[in-house]
Amino acid sequence: MLADLLVAVPVYNHAATLRSVAEGVLAQGCDVLVVDDGSTDGVEQALAGLPVLLVRHEHNLGKGRAILTAAAEASRIGKRYLATIDADGQHDPADINVMAAARALDAVVIGARDFSGPNIPGSSRFGRRFSNFWMRLQTGQQVGDVQCGFRIYPVAMFEAVRPSEPRFAFEVEVLAKAAWAGFELRSVDISVHYPPPDERISHFHKLRDNIAISLLNTRLTARTFMPVPHRRFDVDAQGRVTALHPLRSLEILLRHDNTPATLALSAGLGMLIGSLPLIGLTSTLIILLAGYFRLSRITGLAVNQLCMPPVVPALCIEVGYWLRHGRLLTDISWQTLGYEAHYRLLEWVLGSLITAPVLALCMGGVVYLLSWCVRAGLRRGKGGERGNTA
């Protein structure tokens, strides 16, 4: 069941707990990779006799670099998923089975630690709330525990997501960029064990790493609202999702567990936002709202392409002009489009209040009918394949 999964244990001077973590993961039937990030406390001796892969950094490069090394190794040996678990023993390796049940090629699975037990640091509680808030703002997706290091990544994700943070901030950055690239962020409840404070070993530098995370959140938030497309991972073996090929695109989206209703709502959202005079902000709003309401961001962005000038803005302006003057604008000249541009902007706003909802309803209805027909065709095709097999 877990043959497609490689479990990576990034370690830096946690030899005392590393062996029990590795043994726990092996007991779940998983292949284990230990990435020694420049430890000086005898990692090889701690793993003696265990059937694990070991990769070593000569110098401490940071947890982020260790995870990228693990991803490269997972790709090299043909694994589809990479799980990461901390070496300090706070996670229960048995939870791998719970995490793995939620894995998918278009999703990152993140453990949500149970903070109801003893010895939970107050800084961890605050840090989780802080990071969860910013992740929701930056991606529109709600994550239960952004700071948890127990995760499952699709290995192919690292083709589209290129994190740059080398240390603990990596785990925030990779989630934001994965969401922007079109991956779902899934939370799964897991247990956690925190030893008493005098027994706890942590390499999180409160000043350096908190500053790095704060600066990262500033950059990510600024990038969220820039009207520049994100690097996306919307291609499968059948092609790219685009409004230029609607039926093929709907087939791709339906194969990725979307429903006709979800696609219709997503298309309506894309048309609604795209029809409004929100120059430079439409893509960002679609990403945020689609993530918040768990709709298809890909569909919303594809439909938004249909709202590019001049057709939809001109239609809104005509409706707004008719509301103001009781007739259509027929004089297209430098006077009406240049000197009177402020009036046209006002009419765009007024017209969009009527045009945007109407177009959204029409687009949603069309996409629902097309999706229903495409899904029916896919089901008939699968029925035929089963009949031929029989």
Q: What is the DSSP string of 357-375?
A: HHHHHHHHHHHHHHHHHHH
Which of 127-141, 149-163, 266-280, 337-351 is the least confident region?
A: 127-141
Q: What is the average pLDDT score of the chain?
A: 85
Q: What integer pLDDT is reported at residue 235 of this predicted model?
A: 41
Residue 236 has a pLDDT of: 44
Q: How far is CA 259 from CA 22, 367, 373, in A?
A: 40, 11, 12
Spatial CB neighbours of 358, under 8 Å, sequence gap ≥ 6 = none
Give the span between the Cα atoms of 209 and 45, in whole angstroms.
Answer: 30
Question: Is pLDDT above 80 for 226?
Answer: no
256 CB neighbour count, 10 Å cutoff: 16
Residue 203 scores a pLDDT above 80: no
Report which residue type is found at 196.
Answer: P
Between 39 and 383, the more confident residue is: 39
* List of domains in the chain: 5-224 (3.90.550.10), 235-389 (no CATH)
Check whether 386 has a pLDDT greater than 60.
no
pLDDT of 383 strictly over 70: no
The two three-digit tokens of residue 305, written as one number: 């392409």
Cβ atoms of residues 95 and 25 within 8 Å: no
Whole-Å CA distances, 271 to 92, 138, 368, 382:
46, 22, 14, 32
Strands 81-84 and 5-11: parallel
Which residue, among 138, 110, 108, 134, has the nearest Cα to 287 in the 3D structure? Answer: 138
Give the Cα separation of 310 and 331 in Å (integer): 16
Contacts (Cβ under 8 Å, ≥6 apart) of 321: 327, 328, 329, 347, 351
Residue 248 scores a pLDDT above 70? yes
- CA dihedral defined by 322, 325, 331, 335, rounded to 10 degrees? -120
The answer on pLDDT for 2 being more than 80 is yes
Over range 302-314, report the average pLDDT: 87
Mean pLDDT of 120-136: 81
Half-sphere exposure of 341 toward its Cβ, with a 13 Å CA cutoff?
A: 3
Pick left, alpha or beta for residue 128 (phi over 0 → left; psi -120 to 50 → alpha; otherwise beta).
alpha
CB 325 within 8 A of CB 290: no
Six token digits for residue 81: 């998923």
Model confidence band, residue 329 (pLDDT cutoffs 50, 70, 90): very high
Residue 302 has pLDDT above 70, yes or no: yes
Residue 390 has pLDDT above 70, yes or no: no
Residue 94 has pLDDT above 90, yes or no: yes
135-151: pLDDT as tens digits: 888 887 889 999 899 99
Which residue has 């298809």 as its token pair?
A: 296
* Mean pLDDT in residue range 168-173: 88
Tokens of 313: 């803005």
Determine the residue type at 269.
L
- Phi and psi at residue 280, to the nearest 5°: 85, -5
Tell me what pLDDT residue 287 has: 77
- The whole-angstrom separation of Cα 193 and Cα 118 is 8
Asked whether the predicted pLDDT for residue 237 surpasses 50, the reply is no
Quote the percentage of the chain above a pLDDT of 70: 86
Instruction: Specify the range with the lowest mean pLDDT, choosing from 74-78, 147-151, 277-281.
Output: 277-281
Specify the DSSP element, H or E, that contains 269.
Answer: helix 260-275
CA-closest candidate to residue 186, choices 138, 231, 251, 141: 141
- Per-residue pLDDT at 159: 84
For 71, residues 6+ apart whose C-beta sits below 8 A from its C-beta are 82, 153, 155, 158
What value does the mean pLDDT take over residues 239-261?
Answer: 70
**Most confident among 117-131, 198-212, 260-274, 374-388 (mean pLDDT):** 260-274
Amino acid occupying residue 36 = D
